[in-house]
Amino acid sequence: MKEPKKIFVVDDDKFNAALMKEVCENAGHLVVEINDSTQVVDLAVKESPDLILLDIMMSTKDGFQVCQELRSTDSTSKTPIILVTAVDNLDSKIRGIELGADDYITKPFRLFDLQARISSALNSRDGEPPPSAGKSDGQHQPLRLGGYRQLRRDMEYEFQRALRYQHPLCCCLLLVNEYEDIYNDRGKKEAAGLIAATVTVLQRFLRATDRIYRLEENTFIILMPETNLEQGKIPIARIVQELDKPQISTSGAVSISSSIVSFPDSDEKIDNYNDILRELSRSVATKGT
């Protein structure tokens, strides 16, 4: 049996805190419940938790502020953090990436999803395997899906590389539009099939050097190194076209919203990789209005 981990559950809503605490304790972990966000950093320095579940919307100090303080404190700078919030928008997710969160889950969350994210965050505490992109044994290998931490690390690395060698860098955001409706109307298995079909198409049409990240159930980011805007549009158009086929999944065609940004081709000023992510969020939001 694995050694239990110490998890901080931070939420000033005691009902939500109790629910998260129960999920963690049922998995065999030790839980410290914190209802006052101003105490988090001092307690984390003192007790060295293995993971922090951190609600964003709190009355005293919000989760973004707490996350930033944890990341700027030496002893907690690498402590895994999962942001928990009722605010489901891309700007919040991207801000979480920028501040160094490891994952993000939206309330009301599904228990199995929270369990999976907790397990993933704890497993990555001692470091992640190096990205496989760019390595080849002469055979096509399906692209692995990365998460928050991997996206942040890879984006920073590829942006600095693009600056140094004057190479373009392309990034795309894909949203599976009907995921929630299918989940609510037809259930978990049908919704999972929709995502599996999407991932299969992404892996088929992207190169070995491209990378795929899943931010939440229906949200994907694709990173395409050494790719300008026009080059990046080609595989994305093929992906959208393939997913639009009625036989692509048991639920039929997959409706996709997308936005794409390339450095240095963007009309907006881009000084760092977070600017690329913000521009992606603005672009897809504008299309949805």
pLDDT for the residue 119 = 87
Residue 110 lies in a domain: yes
Residue 276's CATH number: 3.30.70.270
pTM (two decimals): 0.76
- Same domain as 272, residue 152: yes
pLDDT tens string 117-131:
898 888 875 444 444
pLDDT for the residue 60 = 87
Task: Quote the number of domains for the chain.
Answer: 2
pLDDT for the residue 142 = 60
Residue 139 lies in a domain: no
- Same domain as 251, residue 210: yes
pLDDT tens string 62-104:
999 999 999 999 999 999 999 998 776 677 888 888 888 988 8
User: Does 112 score more than 80 pLDDT?
Assistant: no
Q: Which residues contact 45 (CB under 8 A, 6 or more apart)?
A: 73, 75, 76
Domain containing 110 equals: 6-123
Residue 130 lies in a domain: no
Residue 140 lies in a domain: no
Helices 273-288, 148-165: crossing angle, 10 deg rounding: 110
- Same domain as 284, residue 160: yes
pLDDT tens string 147-188:
888 888 899 999 999 999 999 999 999 999 999 899 889 988
| 8 A C-beta contact, residue 40 and residue 52 | yes
- Same domain as 114, residue 149: no
- Same domain as 194, residue 76: no
